[in-house]
Structure 1
Amino acid sequence: MAKKAGLWALAVVLLAAGLTLVGAGLRGPGGPPEPPAWAAAPRPVDHRAPVLPRSAPVRVAVPSIGVAAPLIRLGLDADGSVQVPPGDRPGEAGWYGDGPAPGERGAAVILGHVDSAKGAAVFYDLGRLRPGNRIEVIRADGRVAVFTVESVERVAKDRFPTARVYGPLDHAGLRLVTCGGAFDRAERSYRDNVIVYAAGTSVR
């Protein structure tokens, strides 16, 4: 589990800045693909996958939306705000390394851009995920932590569900987070976040 200060610093950035990853508003006021309202209702899955020791993740794969991306480690900047993946490398995602690693007990958090000046970024299609979809995280120890999506929601940045995203878990969990909703061109930011909640269901 990450230090409490680190978790709250991350939460503050997500809430106040709302994952201010470089956004180009690729689809105008409609924004990127959005999850339907019914996808936000949790559909619990079997949480009995083995809990793994800590090992850094190196890649994330989401077959249903064609994501196969390298992961970099994210920490906190000097001002206490969370780092984000470099804007000039929109095909990468970032793991918040002060929190649990994917496969460990707790909620591992992976952040990714939705778009950039170059076009669609790694998590542009995150809103297309549905409960039951599979996410795989390849770890530095060679193990693959496999997660099953339980719910997908779009939330306004000023209502970011901090406790649900970062709260303690008795199993290995995963959260994928990006921007969503309408693009505010004056603020150069999307107004919402898209959050995927998943639980570890197997290891190979």
Structure 2
Amino acid sequence: MRKRSFGNTVIAGVTVVALCTGAWLLRSGAETHAPPQPSAAQAHAGRVSGVDTRRAAAPALPPSPPDRVRIPAIGVDAPLMGLALTRSGSLDVPPAGRKNLAGWYEAGTTPGETGTAIVAGHVDNAEGPAVFYDLGALRKGSAIEVDRRDGSVALFTVDAVEVYDAKDFPDEKVYGAANRPELRVITCGGGYSRSTGYRGNVVVFAHLTGGR
């Protein structure tokens, strides 16, 4: 398992495998319940007619832990818990039983400050869809809001939504340092197998465009 440096810590190449069991699909026995996946048009190289995804970055905010994430376009409004690394160096995940709970990598960048902040959550659990079930349906130009503990709200604009097989997960592209405030939101995706669960991850790339 490859490892990449991220800030002052190390994250393994396969970071969110625990998110990807596909418990609901396995229990229901039907892949028709599979969550939406991003189209090629939502990738970095694509274009969306009529949507300007080139909004200038806003000035960085001072560090402050996040408490809540909202993504209005897909109905996400969820509390955030701190996530650490497992012994293998992969990113830990929120408890599977709490389907409307997401997490952020608390040893890294806080959302809104300069650098790459990481938020992750389950796509489903044994009972059905979880917090980021519709993440693959998000489109460029969509808004992401993060409530911070200092009372401010960091406002991000989506730059791209991409899906990767676990074996080809681009560590540096997703977790690498940034010279502006950026955000990654991660869940499972990339197809589903009854024997192994989801084959990869959906990743949303966004940058800070405002605050209040």
TM-score by length of structure 2 reads 0.86
Is 1:195 aligned with 2:203? Answer: yes
Which range moved further: 156-165 or 24-33? 24-33
User: Does structure 2 retain, via aligned residues, the 8 Å contact 1:18–1:157?
Assistant: no
Offset, 1:22: 5.5
Question: Residue in 2 aligned with 1:89?
Answer: 98
Offset, 1:2: 2.7
Is 1:134 aligned with 2:143? Answer: yes
Question: Residue in 2 aligned with 1:20?
Answer: 20
Question: Residue in 2 aligned with 1:119?
Answer: 128
Offset from partner CA, 1:19-74 (integer Å, 9 cap, x none): 43563226606721011111102575334312011110000000000000000000
Question: Residue in 2 aligned with 1:52?
Answer: 61
Helix, strand or coil: the match of 2:118? Answer: strand
User: Does structure 1 retain, via aligned residues, the 8 Å contact 2:14–2:169?
Assistant: no
Offset from partner CA, 1:51-101 (integer Å, 9 cap, x none): 011110000000000000000000123443321010110110000111101
Q: Residue type matched to 2:102 in 1?
A: A
What 5-or-longer segments of structure 1 have no aligned partner? none
User: Does structure 1 retain, via aligned residues, the 8 Å contact 2:144–2:155?
Assistant: yes
* Structure 1 vs Structure 2 CA RMSD: 1.9
Q: Residue type matched to 1:191 in 2?
A: R
Matches within 5 A, 1:129-168: 129-168=138-177
Is 1:101 aligned with 2:110? Answer: yes
Which range moved further: 33-42 or 60-69? 33-42
Superposition misfits of 4+ residues, deviation over 4 angstroms: none
What 5-or-longer segments of structure 2 have no aligned partner? 1-5, 48-52
Offset, 1:18: 6.9
CA distance in 2: counterparts of 1:197 and 1:121, whole angstroms: 20
Question: Residue in 1 aligned with 2:39?
Answer: 36
Identity %: 46
Offset, 1:167: 1.1
User: Does structure 2 retain, via aligned residues, the 8 Å contact 1:31–1:181?
Assistant: no
Question: Residue in 1 aligned with 2:3?
Answer: none
CA distance in 1: counterparts of 2:204 and 2:21, whole angstroms: 17
Helix, strand or coil: the match of 2:23? Answer: coil
Offset, 1:181: 2.9
Offset, 1:163: 0.9
- Residues 37/97 of structure 1: CA separation in 2 closer, same or farther (3 Å cut): same
CA distance in 1: counterparts of 2:142 and 2:124, whole angstroms: 22
Q: Residue type matched to 2:179 in 1?
A: D
- Residues 199/101 of structure 1: CA separation in 2 closer, same or farther (3 Å cut): same
